[in-house]
């Protein structure tokens, strides 16, 4: 019969307790005593392994290149492999390799394409939304300019009507006639501004941008051309009337003409008449052709041509003492003046009847044009 193998003694039942009790061996320290001794020990200095050593040890452990024995000691399962503490910056000293560089470039390219796509979409949205607004804004600015120019023209017409009344009144003094010149010039300036704005090309736009707000101004521009031209025409009529009304009284300007005179008086009178002849010839030549004043101009031209021989005959009559002949020549000159003046007064009346309703019509059409200007 086989002998039974004795059972292994249980932990703590190896007889040590008896030896400790009899004082043969020193009792094992209690857990409290062991903790107290550990607290009293001085902490060893922290071991800092170089990063290269840690990497080498780690690589050796993974590959199995570490031998079971190192320096004659057996390496157990708890063999300590020194590892350098991890840096706070996980990317410290990192350099991209070829693969990461390619991935980085490819990622940047994607972001660049995305950014360009966003910019393109933004540009399209801006073109669709902002460009029509810009066209409307330009149209609004032009509308305001058109309205202002027409308003200035309309406000000038009352002064133009006053100037017309002064210029066509035969009883107006030379000073009053001269005072009407600014009103004539202002009316012409207002008409010129209106025409200039109407003939200035509309601002260009891109082919795909609607030009509706700008094209809506075309009827106004056409009307402005008509109104501006009419204002210039009325100003021209007033200027012609001023020229005739201020020129005719200055024709054949002479002092009091005697029927008899001594030689000294006759000689002085000959100088004065010669100056009057030169002035009259110049003034008649400057008279503008105009159907309304055609008779006035013809009579003034004929009298100017007769004026030179008339002076010779008159001075001879004075030198010869022919008072009857001198008197007849004076009557002839006065009659020529009267005929020219009568023709002028008739022409002034025609101008008044013609131009006055044109001024009134221009005022009403200008007001209508202002009201018809498109607005946003």
Q: Tell me if 374 is assigned to some domain.
A: no
| CA 276 to chain centroid | 58
Q: What is the pLDDT of residue 268?
A: 95
Specify which residues 73 forms β-bridges with. Answer: 70
Specify which residues 74 forms β-bridges with. Answer: 69
Do residues 154 and 369 touch, judged by C-beta distance below 8 A?
no
Q: What is the pLDDT of residue 55?
A: 46
Q: Tell me if 228 is assigned to some domain.
A: yes
Boundaries of domain holding 305: 249-354
Q: Are residues 222 and 193 in the same domain?
A: yes
**The model's pTM:** 0.65
Q: What is the pLDDT of residue 202?
A: 83
CA Rg value for the chain: 60
Q: Are residues 297 and 328 in the same domain?
A: yes
Q: Are residues 235 and 262 in the same domain?
A: no
Return d(Cα 294, Cα 297) in angstroms, integer: 5
Return d(Cα 197, Cα 373) in angstroms, integer: 14
Return d(Cα 249, Cα 305) in angstroms, integer: 17
Q: Tell me if 23 is assigned to some domain.
A: no
Q: What is the pLDDT of residue 67?
A: 47
Segment holding 375, helix H or strand E: none
Q: Tell me if 308 is assigned to some domain.
A: yes
Q: Are residues 270 and 308 in the same domain?
A: yes
Query: Could you list the pLDDT tens digit for every one of the 376 residues in the chain?
Result: 445 555 555 555 555 655 565 565 666 666 566 656 656 666 655 544 445 444 454 544 444 544 444 444 444 444 545 555 555 555 555 555 555 555 455 566 777 777 777 777 666 666 555 456 767 778 889 999 999 999 999 999 999 999 999 999 999 999 999 999 999 999 999 999 999 999 999 887 666 567 778 888 999 999 999 999 999 999 999 999 999 999 999 999 999 999 999 999 999 999 999 999 999 999 999 999 999 999 999 999 999 999 999 999 999 999 999 999 999 999 999 999 999 999 999 999 999 999 999 999 999 999 999 999 998 7
Q: What is the pLDDT of residue 62?
A: 46
Q: Are residues 265 and 340 in the same domain?
A: yes
Q: Are residues 217 and 270 in the same domain?
A: no
Q: Which two tokens stand for residue 301?
A: 């031209």
Q: What is the pLDDT of residue 240?
A: 98
Measured over the CA atoms of residue 293, residue 297, residue 298 and residue 303, the dihedral's sign is positive
Q: Which residues, in sequence order, are CB contacts of 172 under 8 Å at separation 6+?
A: 166, 245
Choosing from 246, 273, 291, the residue where a domain stops is 246
Q: Are residues 256 and 324 in the same domain?
A: yes
Number of domains in the chain: 2
Q: Which two tokens stand for residue 203?
A: 């601002």
Choosing from 186, 219, 246, the residue where a domain stops is 246
Do residues 121 and 199 touch, judged by C-beta distance below 8 A?
no
Do residues 318 and 326 touch, judged by C-beta distance below 8 A?
yes
- The helix/strand/coil state of 45 is coil
Q: Which two tokens stand for residue 247?
A: 């020129």
Q: Which two tokens stand for residue 366?
A: 């200008």
Return d(Cα 362, Cα 233) in angstroms, integer: 11
Q: Are residues 232 and 142 in the same domain?
A: yes
Q: Are residues 298 and 344 in the same domain?
A: yes
Helices 323-371, 98-167: inter-axial angle, 10-degree rounding = 140
Q: What is the pLDDT of residue 221?
A: 96
Task: Give me the torsion for CA of 338, 344, 350, 351, rounded to 10°.
Answer: -160
Q: Are residues 229 and 313 in the same domain?
A: no
Q: What is the pLDDT of residue 119?
A: 77
Q: Are residues 280 and 198 in the same domain?
A: no
Return d(Cα 296, Cα 294) in angstroms, integer: 5
Choosing from 215, 246, 277, the residue where a domain stops is 246
Return d(Cα 335, Cα 324) in angstroms, integer: 17
Q: What is the pLDDT of residue 114?
A: 74
Q: Is 266 exposed, middle or buried (0-12, 13-18, 19+ CB in 10 A)?
A: middle
Q: What is the pLDDT of residue 158?
A: 97
Do residues 362 and 227 touch, judged by C-beta distance below 8 A?
yes
**Residue 362: Cβ within 10 Å count:** 22
Q: Tell me if 274 is assigned to some domain.
A: yes
Q: Are residues 278 and 319 in the same domain?
A: yes
Return d(Cα 56, Cα 329) in angstroms, integer: 143
CA-based nearest residue to 296, from 331, 329, 333, 338: 338
Q: Tell me if 56 is assigned to some domain.
A: no
Instruction: Specify the length of the chain in residues.
Output: 376
Q: List, in sequence order, the alpha helices (H) in 72-180.
A: 98-167, 174-179
């Amino acid at each position: 019969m086989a002998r039974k193998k004795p059972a292994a003694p249980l932990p703590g039942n190896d007889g040590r307790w008896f030896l400790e009790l009899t004082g043969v061996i020193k009792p094992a320290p209690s857990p409290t005593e062991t903790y107290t001794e550990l607290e009293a020990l001085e902490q060893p200095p922290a071991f800092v392994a170089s990063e290269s050593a840690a990497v080498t040890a780690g690589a050796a452990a993974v590959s199995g290149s570490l031998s079971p024995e190192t320096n004659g000691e057996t390496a157990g399962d708890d063999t300590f492999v020194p590892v350098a503490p991890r840096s706070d910056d996980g990317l410290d000293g990192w350099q991209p390799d070829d693969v990461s560089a390619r991935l980085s470039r490819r990622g940047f390219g994607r972001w660049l394409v995305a950014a360009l796509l966003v910019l393109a979409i933004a540009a399209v949205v801006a073109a669709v939304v902002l460009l029509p607004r810009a066209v409307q804004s330009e149209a609004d600015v032009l509308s305001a300019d058109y309205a202002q120019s027409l308003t200035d023209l309309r406000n000038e017409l009352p002064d133009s009507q006053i100037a017309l009344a002064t210029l066509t009144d035969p009883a107006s003094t030379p000073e009053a006639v001269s005072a009407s010149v600014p009103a004539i010039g202002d009316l012409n300036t207002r008409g010129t501004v209106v025409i200039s704005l109407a003939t200035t090309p509309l601002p260009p736009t891109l082919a795909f941008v609607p030009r509706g707000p700008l094209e809506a101004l075309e009827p106004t521009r056409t009307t402005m051309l008509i109104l501006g031209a009419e204002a210039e025409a009325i100003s021209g009529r007033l200027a012609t009337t001023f020229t005739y009304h201020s020129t005719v009284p200055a024709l054949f300007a002479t002092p009091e003409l005697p029927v008899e005179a001594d030689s000294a008086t006759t000689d002085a009178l000959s100088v004065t008449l010669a100056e009057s002849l030169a002035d009259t010839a110049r003034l008649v030549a400057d008279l503008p052709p105009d159907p309304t004043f055609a008779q006035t101009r013809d009579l003034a031209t004929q009298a100017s041509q007769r004026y030179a021989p008339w002076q010779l005959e008159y001075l001879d009559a004075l030198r010869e003492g022919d008072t009857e002949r001198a008197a007849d020549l004076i009557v002839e000159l006065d009659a020529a003046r009267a005929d020219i003046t009568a023709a002028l007064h008739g022409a002034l009346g025609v101008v008044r009847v013609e131009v006055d309703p044109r001024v009134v019509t221009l005022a009403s059409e200008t007001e209508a044009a202002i009201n018809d200007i498109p607005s946003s």
